[in-house]
Chains A and B, each alone.
Chain A
Amino acid sequence: MEYEPILPLKTIVFQVLFLLVAIAIEAGILRQRLRLGFQTSVQYATVINLAAVVAGWITFLVLEPLSPMEVKAQIMSYLLFNRLLVNGWTTELGAILFAIALVSFFGTFLIKAKGLEYFLRIDKSWALLKKQPKKKLTRGDIYAKARGGGVEDSQTTFDFTDTVIQANAASFSAILLLMLLRFAIQGWSA
Chain B
Amino acid sequence: MQDIFQDLNAQLRQLLVPKDIFAWQTLLLLSLFSLFIAGALDTVEGASQLAISLLTNLSWIFFTAAVWWGLSEAKSLKVADFHIGPWITGAVLCLFLFRPWLSEFRLRWAISSWPIISTGVMALPHYLNWELEFKPPKDAVKKTLIMTLLVNLLLSSWISFHFRIQDWVRSYPSLLVRSLDESDFVVDFVIDRQQPSQGVALLEGMIREIEKDLDNQPWYQTERWLYTRQIELESALKETLRSLEAPDEQVLLQVEAPAPTQSDQSYLLSLKAIWSGPMARNGAFDLEKICKISPVDAPRAVPTEADEPQPLTRLTEVDCGEDPAEERFRARSL
* Bound-complex Cα distance A132 to B104 (A): 57
Interface centre among A5, A6, A47, A74 (most CB of B within 10 A): A6
Q: Would you list which residues of chain A between 1 and 60 have a CB under 8 Å from chain B?
A: 1, 3-12, 14-15, 43, 46-47, 50-51, 53-54, 57-58
What separation, in Å, do the CA atoms of A3 and B167 have in the docked complex?
9
Choose among B143, B154, B166 the residue that contacts A50 (Cβ–Cβ < 8 A): B154
Please count how many residues in chain A sit with their CB below 8 Å of the partner chain's CB atoms: 40
B179, chain A: closest CB distance, angstroms: 10
Name the CB-closest residue of A to B175: A80
B169/A73 in contact, CB under 8 A: no
A80 touches B186 (CB 8 A): yes
Distance to closest chain B CB from A138 (angstroms): 37
Q: CA A61 – CA B185 in complex, angstroms?
A: 15
B150 touches A47 (CB 8 A): yes
Give chain B residues whose Cβ lies under 8 Å from the Cβ of A80: 165, 168, 175, 180, 183, 185-186, 278
**Known interface pairs A10-B185, A80-B168, A80-B185; A53-B154 also in contact (CB < 8 Å):** yes
State the CA gap A11–B170 with chains docked (Å). 20
B34 to chain A, nearest CB (A): 32
State the CA gap A131–B150 with chains docked (Å): 31
Q: How far is the CB of A110 from chain B (nearest CB, A)?
A: 16
Q: Is the CB of A6 within 8 A of B184?
A: no
What range describes how many residues of B lie at the interface?
35 or more
Decide yes or no whether B161 CB sits under 8 A from chain A.
yes
Which B206-251 residues have C-beta < 8 A from chain A? 251
Are B190 and A61 closer than 8 Å at their CB atoms? Answer: no
Judge if B11 is at the interface, Cβ distance under 8 Å: no
Is A86 within 8 A of B172, CB to CB? Answer: no
Give the contacting residue for A57; candidates B151, B161, B189, B278; CB below 8 A. B161
- CB-CB nearest in chain B for A77: B278
State A60–B166 Cα separation when bound (angstroms).
16
Chain B, residue nearest A186 (CB) = B184
Q: How far is the CA of A82 from the CA of B282 in the complex (A)?
A: 9
B176 and A4 contact, CB distance less than 8 A: yes
Q: Which residue of B lies closest to A57 (CB)?
A: B157
- Interfacial chain B residues near A9, Cβ < 8 Å: 186-187
| Interface, chain A (partner B; CB < 8 A) | 1, 3-12, 14-15, 43, 46-47, 50-51, 53-54, 57-58, 61, 64, 69, 73-74, 76-77, 79-83, 85-87, 119, 122-123
User: 20 extra interchain contacts, Cβ-Cβ under 8 A, other than A8-B185, A61-B161, A80-B278?
Assistant: A5-B189, A6-B188, A7-B162, A8-B162, A9-B187, A12-B158, A47-B143, A50-B147, A51-B150, A54-B153, A58-B153, A64-B164, A76-B175, A80-B165, A80-B185, A81-B281, A81-B282, A82-B183, A85-B282, A87-B332
Q: Can you list 29 A-B contacts with CB-CB less than 8 angstroms, sorted by A residue number? A: A4-B176, A6-B169, A6-B187, A7-B189, A9-B186, A10-B187, A11-B161, A11-B186, A14-B185, A47-B150, A50-B150, A58-B157, A61-B161, A73-B277, A76-B172, A76-B175, A76-B278, A77-B277, A79-B165, A80-B168, A80-B183, A80-B185, A81-B182, A82-B183, A82-B184, A83-B182, A83-B282, A85-B278, A87-B333
